[in-house]
Structure 1
Amino acid sequence: MAQAHYFSALIVKVARDRDKAAFVELFDHFAPRLKGYLMKQGADEALAEEIAQDVMVTLWRKADLFDPQKSSASTWLYRVARNRRIDRLRRQKTAELDPDEPALQPTPLPDVADEMDARLREERVRAAMAQLPEEQREVVRLAFFIGQSHSEIADETGLPLGTVKSRIRLAFGRLRQLIEADEAVDVD
């Protein structure tokens, strides 16, 4: 959740200040993910790359249309990518659109039970994270919420790479214990 707010704040910086550093960070994070998403949707590598680039240009030009109250940064960008792919398919097959084409189907509504399970899991993780020692919590935040590699964390914090890896491993062990203990309480 913290990462979602972080990326939303970066889009707001792009919209408000034309912040190039914020855009570069968004580009570096989302462009390869959008390309992968588009390839999973059936686009070939060249088309996926082209659409991902187009989405990022749209982000730069139309960041002011993003409303963090309505969606997360990733939801907004993936929706733009999906729509761009549909537009391309329509241009290719203007006379013969296949109504069963997966890209043209509406996104299925999330299962309420799955959504509630995800929220409960998120609450448990958040509560367990709060119980970690600060040095473990920080490396987990950098690795999994900011998306930095272990080497980048070591560079940023000045810690040896082995220490970063150890703290992450210890944090995961502790998180597992805390979450399992919390789940055991719910079962009783």
Structure 2
Amino acid sequence: MTNEVVPWVDDMVAVRDARDEAAFIRVFGHFGPRVKAFLMRTGMDAALAEECAQEVLVTVWNKAHLYDATRASPSTWIFTIARNKKIDVLRKQRRPEPEDLPWGPEAEPDQAEVIGLQQESEQLGRALRDLPEKQRELIEKAYFGELSHSEIADQTGLPLGTIKSRIRLALERLRHSMK
């Protein structure tokens, strides 16, 4: 791979191999605003996106030794880190802090709501069982096993593109089954 074909490879390799601060400053200057914009486009407010973008670039510095130019371009690698950081932030926001937990008896859920959720769960279970086995296994690993596409590829030995295609097809089938 040359720098003309995939920009930023030389700088990422310099950061990875020599902890080159000047190269990292260039990477940070280029990708910092782009990561922040990406996070804001996904619904994050500006202040949180700025903080998260900085954490992403700190992760890039700290984990530069893991960068492999043969597996991903610098932008793909960095935006994957950003996507994972965004998921971490969303998960953290959804977990209530102990002082936010309600005390005392909880209100009983509406019976119609409970029945509706049970029916949807049963419908989803049938739809999952009806998927081709190869697609169902990947959906289970991704959503129930909470594995990333890359982790699934490492675990199964399948190419990342195959994993993504099968999951995309499976989700489309599930969407149609749930209508």
After TM superposition, the score normalised by the length of structure 2 is 0.51
Name the CA distance, whole Å, in 1 between partners of 2:11 and 2:5: 10
Determine the structure 2 residue equivalent to 1:92.
Answer: 93
Name the CA distance, whole Å, in 2 between partners of 1:8 and 1:18: 14
Determine the structure 2 residue equivalent to 1:159.
Answer: none
After TM superposition, the score normalised by the length of structure 1 is 0.49
Partner of 1:5: helix, strand, or coil? Answer: coil
1:60-119 Cα deviation digits (max 9, x unpaired): 111011111111100010010010010011011137xxxxxxxx9x89958xxxxxxxxx
Retained in 2: the 8 A contact 1:4–1:72? no
- Taking the TM superposition and a 5 Å limit, the aligned residue runs for 1:21-40 are 21-40=22-41
Name the CA distance, whole Å, in 1 between partners of 2:32 and 2:87: 18
Retained in 2: the 8 A contact 1:10–1:26? yes
Partner of 1:14: helix, strand, or coil? Answer: helix
Q: Does 1:44 align with 2:40?
A: no
Retained in 2: the 8 A contact 1:15–1:64? yes
Name the CA distance, whole Å, in 2 between partners of 1:3 and 1:42: 33
- Taking the TM superposition and a 5 Å limit, the aligned residue runs for 1:91-110 are 91-94=92-95
Determine the structure 2 residue equivalent to 1:11.
Answer: 12
Letter in 1 for 2:53: A
Name the CA distance, whole Å, in 1 between partners of 2:4 and 2:46: 28
Retained in 1: the 8 A contact 2:3–2:10? no
Name the CA distance, whole Å, in 2 between partners of 1:68 and 1:78: 14
Report how far residue 3 of structure 1 moved: 4.8
Determine the structure 1 residue equivalent to 2:83.
Answer: 82
Retained in 2: the 8 A contact 1:31–1:56? yes
What is the root-mean-square deviation in Å for CA atoms of aligned residues?
2.5
Letter in 1 for 2:41: K
Determine the structure 2 residue equivalent to 1:119.
Answer: none
Name the CA distance, whole Å, in 2 between partners of 1:4 and 1:17: 22
- Taking the TM superposition and a 5 Å limit, the aligned residue runs for 1:29-178 are 29-94=30-95
Determine the structure 1 residue equivalent to 2:130.
Answer: none
User: In 2 relative to 1, CA 4–33 (structure 1 residues): closer, same or farther, beyond 3 Å?
Assistant: farther
Report how far residue 39 of structure 1 moved: 0.3
Name the CA distance, whole Å, in 1 between partners of 2:5 and 2:61: 18
Retained in 1: the 8 A contact 2:3–2:9? no
Partner of 1:71: helix, strand, or coil? Answer: coil
Name the CA distance, whole Å, in 2 between partners of 1:91 and 1:65: 25
Letter in 1 for 2:68: D
Which consecutive residues of structure 2, in runs of 5 or more, have no partner in the other structure? 97-142, 150-160, 166-179
